[in-house]
Amino acid sequence: MHNALALYKNHSMNKTAVITGASKGIGKAVAERFASERFDLIITARTAADLDNVKREFEERFDIQCLTFAADLSVKSEANAFCDFVLAQNTPIDVLVNNTGVFIQGELMNEPDGALEKQINTNLYSAYWVTRGLIRSIQMASAAHIFNVCSIASLAAYAGSGSYSISKFALLGFSKSLREELKKDRIKVTSIMPGATYTSSWEGVDLPESRFMGAKDVADTIWSAYSLSPSAVIEDIIMRPLEGDI
């Protein structure tokens, strides 16, 4: 899984997108969209088998190179190991999508012990560690763009959001600070706040799929924001199902 450097160089004319949490849901949809636009991919998630399936599918369908690295980005040492792997490819990173996340439902005063720590580590620190670790390669690109997948819970707390909302507020704060810092480098930063999106996290909910947005909707929106001219950036994107929040 980690020895594909020689193969990677065969696709050196392609741009490169690094996407975290890319084995399912929004992350996989985003990876699919960029692969369809002839981007090579470097993707990570926790489960190697899931990543291998994505790699096999996308390389066959799109004739691109997809490198994989299994890691739990809520653990700093594993986030650093992923960054080392990416940097070893010695290629500019044109797009970084910080999508790794976890949702633990509950109320602040009675949610499981450790819920805040787990969600801060996964939803905030993963993006912080990976962006800091990869900034050198991001700065190598001629027109780089960083997307941070936040949530409507970044904007307002709602019943049962507990520490999840705290972590997503923090991720939006990170994204806004990053936007200010990277202006001088002409690196774009976009925060995207999706509402209810039909992914595995909603399994078992007694609602029709039509009540949700699709992961493809989020992926297409990210691609649209990326496709603007070099002189424009969309800073914040809010998306909701047509009928509103669930």
Domains of the chain, each with CATH number or no CATH: 5-239 (3.40.50.720)
Whether 166 contacts 120, CB under 8 Å: yes
Instruction: At 147, list the tokens.
Output: 């997307």
Amino acid (one-letter) located at 110: N
The CA distance from 189 to 222, in Å, is 11
Q: Flag whether pLDDT at 78 surpasses 70.
A: yes
Instruction: Give the pLDDT score at 2.
Output: 47
Residue (of 232, 132, 237) closest to 186 by Cα position: 232
Decide: 32 and 55 in contact? Cβ < 8 Å: no
Taken in order 177, 183, 188, 193, the sign of the CA dihedral is positive
Buried b or exposed e, range 86-104, using 16+ CB within 10 angstroms:
beebebbbbbbbbbbbbbb
Does residue 84 surpass a pLDDT of 60? yes
Place 12 in a pLDDT band, splitting at 50, 70 and 90: low
Integer-rounded Cα Rg, in Å, for the chain is: 17
> Is 90 exceeded by the pLDDT of residue 171?
yes
Q: What percent of the chain has pLDDT over 70?
A: 94
* Stretch 86-100: mean pLDDT: 98
With bands split at pLDDT 50, 70 and 90, how would you rate the model's confidence at 146? Answer: very high
Alpha helices in the chain (DSSP H): 5-9, 25-36, 48-62, 76-87, 115-120, 126-140, 162-182, 215-226
- Cα gap 81→69, rounded to integer Å: 9
Does residue 154 have a pLDDT over 70?
yes
Residue 209: what pLDDT? 86
With a CB cutoff of 8 Å and minimum separation 6, the contacts of 54 are: 22, 23, 28, 31, 43, 66, 68
Q: What percent of the chain has pLDDT over 90?
A: 87
More confident residue, 155 or 198: 155
- H-helix or E-strand containing 16? strand 16-20
Q: Phi/psi at 188 (nearest 5 deg)? A: -80, 145
Q: What pTM was computed for the model?
A: 0.93
Q: Is the pLDDT of residue 198 over 60?
A: yes
